[in-house]
Amino acid sequence: MNIEKLQKAIAIMNFDGKSGNVYGYDDTVEFYPMTDSFTKEQCEGLAGLGFMPSECGDGWVCFT
């Protein structure tokens, strides 16, 4: 992960300005935005930046 990808992903996750929480664990960072839902294009954009849905389905995870 690099800063440019992280900035782009945060912009997608916070598109509506509702913020959210971030947690770091060992080699992953988990983002839990307050957004109600993401479009297919937003999900594809996050996947292209190296993010995947969290196991609980409420957030996004990336490896560091």
29/8 Cα distance (integer angstroms): 15
- What digits encode the pLDDT tens for the residues 2-60? 999 999 999 999 999 999 999 999 999 999 999 889 999 999 999 999 999 998 878 99
> Which residues partner with 20 through β-bridges?
33
* Reported pTM: 0.90
Neighbouring residues of 14: CB distance < 8 A, sequence distance ≥ 6:
20, 33, 35
pLDDT at 57: 79
Instruction: Reduce the DSSP state of residue 32 to 3 states and report it.
Output: strand
- Edge-to-edge strand list for the sheet holding 60-63: 20-25, 28-33, 60-63, 52-53
